[in-house]
A and B are shown apart, each in its own frame.
Chain A
Amino acid sequence: MENVEKKLREEAKGLLAEKKVDVVVGYEKGTLPLTATPCFITTPEEADRLVWNPFCVLNLAKFVHDLLDQHHEAQKRVKPEARRKKVVGVVARGCTSRSLVIQLQEKQYGKDEIVILGVPCGGYLDGKKLAALAGGEEVREGALSEGKIVVKTVSGERQAALKDLLADNCLVCHFNQPVIADIQTGEVAPVAEAEKEYDPVTAFENLPPEARWAYFEKEMAKCIRCTACRNVCPSCYCRICFAEQSQPRWVDIGADASDTQLFQLMRMYHMVGRCVDCGSCTAVCPMGVDLRKFLKKLDKDAFEMFGHRAGVSLEEPAPLGAYRETDGEEFIFEPKAGG
């Protein structure tokens, strides 16, 4: 891991010094123990702030899109001859690179506007599991050494293996290496048990419908509609989200349970074949809504119905933007003859 970090800093420094990129989006040490936070590096001197460790959580593709989108917008107000290109370097793990692929595919920016610094990933620390380890107390100090996490709280010291604290999506990740990268740093063996990917979905599918509805209702009741999940999602980049549109008003803003359910349903439905299971939405959710249980189903459907894996190839379009004449028709309603 340290080698990766060192290499990453060197590469970022080089890119910035040679003016190949205007900014590098990466992670720096967070203000709290055992955290890392996204950062924007614009000068070679700052590159030493970059870190790469299991505390790097959020999917950085979101920031790449935001930066480039703002830049494109700003350039519209500049005379054509004075327009300039902005290039963003980004530290990308497997899921981040897949989000970048989705954004490239959806023509949000050109391949020449990004430089991907690929990093190997063994999964990241789940904040909620860490909080559980600390028994809900504030983590005063924390350290990671030899695959063990040690936290110090006011009532004492606790420890656990890193593997037990990894996020659920990391435990079943297929993509420990980025799918595309301009510069690749380091290599690690995959740790994930990818074949178990859809186990929780299958288990949920086998529950009776009423139990599934009860679970959905319970989870959605927690949601306070802060839209943090949307704001952090790299696939949610509409300038005006349906949730905030007023003409037409797609979803009411009332306190009725169905409004929240519809908001979440629709946001999730937009993720068919576009969710890379980066876990950012679950990580930022202040209410701990189990979004992954539902998003993973869409991922499974996209894979099983349309043979599509989100963000894996630059050529294959998102499943709902394409069709095959041979697509399944089992769900089509057939009336009984003469009925």
Chain B
Amino acid sequence: MTDKESAKEWEPKIVAIVCNWCTYAGADLAGISRIQYPPNVRIIRVPCTGRINPFYILRALQEGADGVLVSGCHPGECHYITGNLTARRKFAALKSFLGYIGLEGDRTLFTWVSASEGDRFAQVIRGVTDAVRALGPARKLVKRM
């Protein structure tokens, strides 16, 4: 059993892929407003959720993330007009497919957080961390060698 798997010290490692225009700004606002949220999340900033290749999510899981959160602008508020609407379809299909092969639903999470929702960002991170913590360390799709 590796250190990661020993239940006591284990802390979920969550990759958050967020869009530059809404969620990243929302995270910024949460920081400026000094809202507390768990430190388990590693944020990756991308221009738009539509830019996210679903392989990023799978790759993160393979490389040891216990959960992946993708967050962008609310539908209709995308900086690039429709980026998040195409992303929504991609993620719907991906999430359904991963569920089908037996991956826990809470490993891959999708949500919308706008630039003014610092509060919501902190709530989302708390919610995601709790959800992933409840699942325990990732064991499926993880690289062993």
Residues of A within 8 A of B (CB): 204-205, 209-216, 242, 250-252, 254-259, 261-262, 265-266, 268-269, 272, 294, 297-298, 301-302, 305-306, 319-325, 327-329, 331-339
Contacts and interface: CB of A to CB of B under 8 A. Distances in A.
B69 to A, nearest CB: 8
Nearest to B124: A335
Interface of B is mostly: helix
A257 B93 contact: no
A242 B127 contact: no
Contacts of A320: 86, 89-90, 93
Q: Which 3 A-B pairs have the closest CB atoms?
A: A213-B102, A335-B127, A212-B102
A258 B144 contact: yes
Nearest to B50: A323
Nearest to B101: A216
B70 to A, nearest CB: 9
B124 A327 contact: no
Contact of B143 (A259, A265, A305): A259
A216 B141 CA distance: 11
B144 A301 contact: no
Interface stretch (B1-9, B28-36, B107-115): B107-115
B96 A301 contact: yes
B123 interface: yes
A257 B131 CA distance: 26
Contacts of B126: 335, 339
A214 B94 CA distance: 19
Contacts of B128: 333, 335
A210 B101 CA distance: 9
A262 B93 contact: no
Interface of A is mostly: helix
B97 A306 contact: no
A333 B124 contact: yes
Contact of A332 (B76, B110, B120): B110
Contact of B101 (A265, A335, A338): A265
B82 to A, nearest CB: 6
A257 B143 CA distance: 8
B145 A256 contact: yes
A329 B127 CA distance: 18
B134 interface: no
A332 to B, nearest CB: 6
Contacts of B112: 332
Interface string B34-73: 0000000000000000000011001100100000010000
Contacts of A321: 86
Contact of B88 (A255, A268, A323): A323
Contacts of B54: 266, 269
6 contacts: A212-B102, A262-B62, A265-B101, A269-B93, A297-B100, A336-B127
A301 B88 contact: no
Given A305-B92, A327-B89, 10 more contacts: A212-B101, A250-B55, A256-B144, A261-B141, A268-B97, A269-B97, A301-B93, A331-B95, A333-B128, A333-B131
Contacts of B90: 320
Contact of B75 (A251, A261, A325): A325
B141 A212 contact: no
A258 to B, nearest CB: 5
A326 to B, nearest CB: 10
Contacts of A251: 55
Given A256-B145, A331-B95, A339-B126, A242 B55 contact: yes
Contacts of A269: 54, 93-94, 97
A306 B93 CA distance: 10
A329 B89 CA distance: 9
Given A254-B145, A335-B120, A327 B88 contact: yes
A215 B100 CA distance: 11
B91 interface: yes
